[in-house]
Structure 1
Amino acid sequence: MLAGLAAVTALPAVAQDGLEIIGAPTPGAIGFQEAATELASDIHWLDSMLLVIITAIVLFVVALMAVCIFIYNRRRNPNPATFTHNSPVEVAWTIIPIIVLVFIGAFSLPVLFKQQEIPEGEINIKVTGYQWYWGYEYTDHEFAFDSYMIGQPATVGNYVLTDEVEAALEEAGYSRNEFLLATDTAVVVPVNKTVVMTVTGADVIHSWTIPAFGVKQDAVPGRLAQLWFKAEKEGVYFGQCSELCGKDHAYMPITVKVVSEEAYEEWLQGAIEEYAGTPAGYDVASAQ
């Protein structure tokens, strides 16, 4: 079985040797993964900006509470005031939140619109979520493949990091640290190219996401949705299905490998021959 798995993984691995693993979770860490796209950078900046605003509001409210507790406690102020209204204060606590929300919206809406306005793709891939693996179709070149977690019964093992599974991970260029993250085949895209993914589900709702890219899109059966990204750094990036989809939801990871244009073209020729059954050098477009 290991020999068969090695044969499946050997072709996609050719163009990705020596890639740095960038988009992966770190045990005990907090915060975002390193941003690898403009979308992710925008999200990180927006999060930092909102954190500043939220922190300022919390400190202001805590200061007001402290002043009220200190000045208007029963010992310092035994005779409480009897007024019920303060028009300037009421106007202020209505207007100031409106200004804050408009300010936040002025920065957050462009970030949202950038994600939702899908540009013309230089690479177009259809993604289909299954229980419990992903299917990818490179629609520009008419080939497709399925992607299973290394260690899933469909590859080798039974969701347990055995010696056999670790050997399979090493054969595919990973280590035991990538168990539950690495897949037998990966999405391969060129660096600095716009990738548009059309996402759907074959059975139940799944969700395709790569945190380092700042993208997440539900895969809903019977519907087509799109996401896009332009990866700015070569490397290996991991994601997970992010919509509860059944008992093996935790075992359908996503692997994307961002390579140079030259490496991508080399991989593409081999992938067309391997997955589409088209001999190398055959002009796919002329056969359409």
Structure 2
Amino acid sequence: MPLNMTQGVTDISQQVFDLHMTIFYICVVIGIIVFGVMFWAIIHHRQSRGAVAASFHESTKVEILWTLIPFVILIVMAIPATKTLLAMEDTSKPDLTILITGSQWKWHYSYFDQEVEYFSLLATSPAQIANEREKRDNYLLEVDRPLILPIGQKVRFLITSQDVIHSWWVPAFAVKKDANPGFINEAWTRIEEPGIYRGQCAELCGKDHGFMPIVVIAKTQVEYEEWLQTTKVAQQQAREEEQRLLDMQMPMDELMALGEKTYQARCAVCHQAAGQGIPGAFPALAGQGLSVDKSKKLEHISIVVHGKTGTAMQAFGPQLSLKELAAVITYERNAWGNDTGDTVQAAEVQAVLNGENL
């Protein structure tokens, strides 16, 4: 493990590293001088050599000197520090702007003027976390959908949160900004080298704080444009597919299969893999748990779609597709002994999203 901070891959990160080393060397010189004088005085003025302590009251010259020297040192340190801090905060004239929203425990990326947005979640499997499978090299630092950025362009980040305080931190970019609910903080970067760069939430944001990584893939401009167009087409097709789903009736087995997969990826972290929940924190869903009886079907859909005020239950309507929402609610209503026997279809979820039938 390196003992020093990373030099990073951007001009700003290099400036931060250079500033760090400049201050470090100044402190080393001060330490050598101060301790050198101190040990010299101890050795050459020890009692065994017959040294007699001097008797004096004060020296105006000495007081001026030991006030002036630290002042000059601080000014010397402040000039490059101020220059670097001003450069870090200069988000003007960006080539690309991305809104980053933190939530427990995932990141949402929205590309301004591009009609591209998606959530980025931890990709490390629960089996690795539970030590049931060998951990990969990037354990807890891998995601399902990384942030894709072009090299050579100034990218501005608008960073906020929808629940608690998070912090978006990528050391290679020298970017670390808090995501505060109701506020927007700004940061920026210009990546010079293609590659994969990893970070994580640097603010203690809840029980799964350690499961909120960041992965950025920097591509050449050509590769970035190809990815952007492919993603636009894919998201447009997904929207069209959702509209077709409104007229379809998905079978129970298909809903249950997709629902289990979605539940394990999105819900199990709080409600646990078998729906048993965590007493005092997250309610159990197993055995006729939260709103799974047949008379509360719409309430169940509403809680999953809109969340529940005053609790840690998030609104999954903006996070999952209609198909995934219908599937996961169907799964919760028929797994672990709930056995309601009913299915939830995309049209029912859409009605709740639109505020109908409530």
Give the shorter-chain TM-score range.
Answer: 0.7 to 0.9
Q: Which residue of structure 2 lines up, in the alignment, with residue 270 of structure 1? A: 230
The answer (yes or no) to whether the contact 1:119–1:228 under 8 Å persists in 2 is no
Q: How far 1:182 moved relative to its partner?
A: 1.0
For 2:121 and 2:236, locate their aligned partners in 1 and report how far apart those are by CA, in whole Å: 19
Normalization by structure 1: what TM-score? 0.78
For 1:152 and 1:133, locate their aligned partners in 2 and report how far apart those are by CA, in whole Å: 15
Letter in 1 for 2:159: V
1:204 maps onto 2:204 in alignment: no
- Describe the superposition over 1:26-83 as per-residue Cα deviations: whole angstroms up to 9, x where unpaired: xx22222342101100011011111110000000111111122022222334532110
Which of structures 1 and 2 has the larger relative contact order (alpha carbons within 8 angstroms, sep 6+)? 1
Number of aligned residue pairs: give it. Answer: 239
Q: Aligned runs of 1:184-223 on 2, under 5 Å?
A: 184-223=144-183
The answer (yes or no) to whether the contact 1:272–1:278 under 8 Å persists in 2 is no
Q: Which residue of structure 2 lines up, in the alignment, with residue 24 of structure 1? A: none
For 1:70 and 1:237, locate their aligned partners in 2 and report how far apart those are by CA, in whole Å: 52
For 1:77 and 1:190, locate their aligned partners in 2 and report how far apart those are by CA, in whole Å: 72
TM-aligned CA distance change 1:158 to 1:222, over 3 Å: farther
Q: Which residue of structure 2 lines up, in the alignment, with residue 131 of structure 1? A: 104
The answer (yes or no) to whether the contact 1:144–1:276 under 8 Å persists in 2 is no
Q: Which residue of structure 2 lines up, in the alignment, with residue 7 of structure 1? A: none
1:232 maps onto 2:232 in alignment: no
1:33 maps onto 2:3 in alignment: no
TM-aligned CA distance change 1:85 to 1:276, over 3 Å: farther
TM-aligned CA distance change 1:30 to 1:196, over 3 Å: same
The answer (yes or no) to whether the contact 1:161–1:179 under 8 Å persists in 2 is no
For 2:235 and 2:171, locate their aligned partners in 1 and report how far apart those are by CA, in whole Å: 28
For 2:8 and 2:138, locate their aligned partners in 1 and report how far apart those are by CA, in whole Å: 20
The answer (yes or no) to whether the contact 1:136–1:187 under 8 Å persists in 2 is yes
Q: Which residue of structure 2 lines up, in the alignment, with residue 171 of structure 1? A: none
Letter in 1 for 2:76: F
The answer (yes or no) to whether the contact 1:152–1:251 under 8 Å persists in 2 is no
The answer (yes or no) to whether the contact 1:151–1:161 under 8 Å persists in 2 is no
For 1:252 and 1:201, locate their aligned partners in 2 and report how far apart those are by CA, in whole Å: 13
For 1:162 and 1:196, locate their aligned partners in 2 and report how far apart those are by CA, in whole Å: 40
The answer (yes or no) to whether the contact 2:165–2:180 under 8 Å persists in 1 is yes
Q: How far 1:84 moved relative to its partner?
A: 1.6
For 1:278 and 1:114, locate their aligned partners in 2 and report how far apart those are by CA, in whole Å: 40
TM-aligned CA distance change 1:77 to 1:87, over 3 Å: farther
Q: Which residue of structure 1 lines up, in the alignment, with residue 129 of structure 2? A: 159
Identity of aligned residues (%): 32
Q: Which runs of 5+ in 2 are unaligned?
A: 240-358
Q: Which residue of structure 2 lines up, in the alignment, with residue 241 of structure 1? A: 201
For 1:33 and 1:127, locate their aligned partners in 2 and report how far apart those are by CA, in whole Å: 24
Normalization by structure 2: what TM-score? 0.64
Q: Which residue of structure 2 lines up, in the alignment, with residue 252 of structure 1? A: 212
Q: Which residue of structure 2 lines up, in the alignment, with residue 23 of structure 1? A: none
The answer (yes or no) to whether the contact 2:160–2:178 under 8 Å persists in 1 is yes
Letter in 1 for 2:42: I
TM-aligned CA distance change 1:108 to 1:203, over 3 Å: same
Provide the secondary structure at the position in 2 that maps to 1:150. Answer: coil
- The root-mean-square deviation of aligned C-alpha atoms, in Å, is 1.9
- Describe the superposition over 1:91-127 as per-residue Cα deviations: whole angstroms up to 9, x where unpaired: 1111111000001011110100101121222111100
Q: Which one of the candidate residues 92, 100, 104 is aligned to 1:119?
A: 92
Q: Which one of the candidate residues 70, 73, 76 is aligned to 1:97?
A: 70
Letter in 2 for 1:131: Q
**Larger Rg belongs to:** 2
Provide the secondary structure at the position in 1 that maps to 2:118. Answer: strand
1:143 maps onto 2:116 in alignment: yes
Letter in 2 for 1:245: C
Provide the secondary structure at the position in 1 that maps to 2:49. Answer: coil
Q: Which residue of structure 1 lines up, in the alignment, with residue 38 of structure 2? A: 65
1:51 maps onto 2:24 in alignment: yes
For 1:49 and 1:148, locate their aligned partners in 2 and report how far apart those are by CA, in whole Å: 38
